[in-house]
Amino acid sequence: MPLTTAAPNMADILQRQRTFWMTGATRDLDFRLTQLKCLRQAIVNYQAEIVKAATQDLGRPEFEGYFEVGAINELDYVIKQAPKWVRPRKVSLPLSQLPGSAWIQPEPLGVVLIIGPWNYPFQLIMSPLMGAIAAGNCAILKPSELAPATSNVLARLVNDTFDPAYIAVVEGGVDTAQALLAEKFDHIFYTGGERVGRLVMQAAAAQLTPVTLELGGKSPCIIDSDIDVATTARRVVWGKFLNAGQTCIAPDYLLVQEDVKPALLEALQQRLEECYGPDPAQSPDLARIVNDTQFERLMGLLQGQIVVGGEYNRGDRFLAPTLIDNVKWDAPIMQEEIFGPILPILTYKHLEEAIAAINQHPKPLALYVFSRNASVHNQVLQQTSSGCVCINDVILQVAVWDMPFGGVGNSGIGAYHGKFSFDTFSNLKSVLRKPFWLDINWRYPPYEGKVKLFRKAIGLS
């Protein structure tokens, strides 16, 4: 029976998963690989529905709908690498610990909860899920109610593919999320905004459950004067306006070296027209704002010196790609994550100013820097802190599966992707094995006469 009814009994679903987990079936690598392959096949089977749902929920162009299906790219990597990740990881012992051997033995955590957001509503449930499966866990998935078409497809896909005693979807809104959070899980993986992230962490604290929080924030994009202007404009326009700016690692604002601003502004305007035509409302390549609440929030940010864009249509929640020039740090748009197709432009004279301004704000999820000059790259890398950095491009760092993806400070706790997901959903158990054949007396009472030797052993003279 599908577990997607309006008021599912959370404790019941959880109990069934715990019972299944206790059988030990998920500890078997072949079982995990089979499930991952089933998931891959299910995504392939459902691809048209997934893309269609992204269009229904977010007005996504077909091309951008395939970003959701793109989860299979990481899945293939996980299927290929998981046999290596499950192996015990040998650790060398210090001389004082010999004879013996030591290793790190990954083991599954148990039953985990994955809560997803609306902006990449399929992909951001699938990506942690594949890590949870590879690591040998059972999982309950709570997709965002604000992307209802995707939530529905995801629930059907999962119910068709897995026994709910292993992987289950619970659809619903805030009440459902809160009811789930009242239960005891072995890990909670949350992707979404900072406000709810705090609530998730509070609920997890009550149960002493570990959390991964994948949050957002304002990701700066520094643009030095030594750049290829046209290429910079192409990349920034793509990364900012795909999914109508509703991307957690989209460049939130530009910090432009003042000498290059006139040329960059012109290139950005030209690029916007090349991508979306003279009337972006007619473009088939622009997504829409997810709901009226988000739309009205963005309307409130639409003020200042709009140099291009600003047109909107409440009826279909369309907001044209918009550039706002001469923005000051105290403007309303600089007080919150924009998460929409509005790009404020601020300037700096010396790089130190830009770095100081960034450092006065919470640590961002992503930071971008465009420059031909390696000393600029190094200065930014050394003097700022962020979850990730991409130099001379945007967004693409998220799809390098060997790199951890996560925030720092207010932009998140923990990280995932590829092996980092596997580790996030594993207990990395330390094991030391000693033989019986040597048992030197130095550590046992009576201690008399042993202090000097012990001091020497720990490194004191």
Q: Which residues bind ligand NAD (CB under 6 A)?
A: 115-119, 124, 142, 144-146, 173-174, 177-178, 181, 191-193, 196, 199-200, 214-216, 248, 337, 339, 365, 407, 412
CB of 388 to ligand NAD, least distance (A): 10
Closer to ligand NAD by Cβ: residue 214 or 325: 214
In the bound complex, what is the minimum distance in angstroms from residue 178's beta carbon to ligand NAD? 5
| Residue 20: how many other CB atoms lie within 10 Å | 18
Hey, what's the torsion of the CAs at 268, 322, 397, 59, to 10 degrees?
A: -120
Q: In Å, how far are 125, 138, 191 from 131, measured between CA atoms? A: 11, 11, 15
Rounded distance between C-alpha atoms, residue 260 and residue 232, angstroms = 11
Q: Which one of the listed residues 138, 221, 248, 390 is annotated catalytic?
A: 248
C-alpha 236 chain-centroid distance: 20
Cβ pair 368, 221 in contact under 8 A: yes
Catalytic-role residue among 74, 214, 337, 390:
214
CB 170 within 8 A of CB 136: no
216/280 with CB nearer ligand NAD: 216
> Considering beta carbons, is residue 115 or 345 the nearer one to ligand NAD?
115
Tokens of 243: 């999914």
In angstroms, what is the minimal distance from the CB of 73 to ligand NAD?
16
Q: Which is nearer to ligand NAD, 205 or 356 (CB)?
A: 205
Distance CA 327, CA 336 (A): 14
Q: Is 145 a catalytic residue?
A: no
Q: Which residue is nearest to ligand NAD (CB)?
A: 216
Residue linked to tokens 């999820």: 365
Sequence-ordered strand ranges (E) for 286-400: 305-308, 312-313, 318-319, 322-325, 342-348, 366-370, 388-391
Quote the least distance from Cβ 193 to ligand NAD, whole Å.
Answer: 3
Handedness of CA 260, 265, 266, 268 (dihedral sign): positive
Nearer to ligand NAD, 218 or 234 (CB): 218
Beta pairing, strands 412-413 & 211-214: antiparallel
- Distinct helix (H) and strand (E) counts, the chain: 15, 18
Q: What's the closest the beta carbon of residue 250 comes to ligand NAD, in angstroms?
A: 9
**Shortest CB 396 distance to ligand NAD, Å:** 15
Closest approach of ligand NAD to the CB of residue 384, in Å: 18
Q: Which token pair is 41?
A: 């096949």
Closer CB to ligand NAD, residue 16 or residue 142?
142
Cβ closest to ligand NAD, residue 168 vs residue 264:
168
Is 214 tagged catalytic?
yes
Q: Give the DSSP H/E element, type plus range, for residue 237.
A: helix 229-241
Please name the residue that has the structure tokens 């619970």.
170
Would you mind telling me the total number of residues written for the chain in this entry? 461
- Catalytic sites, residue numbers: 214, 248
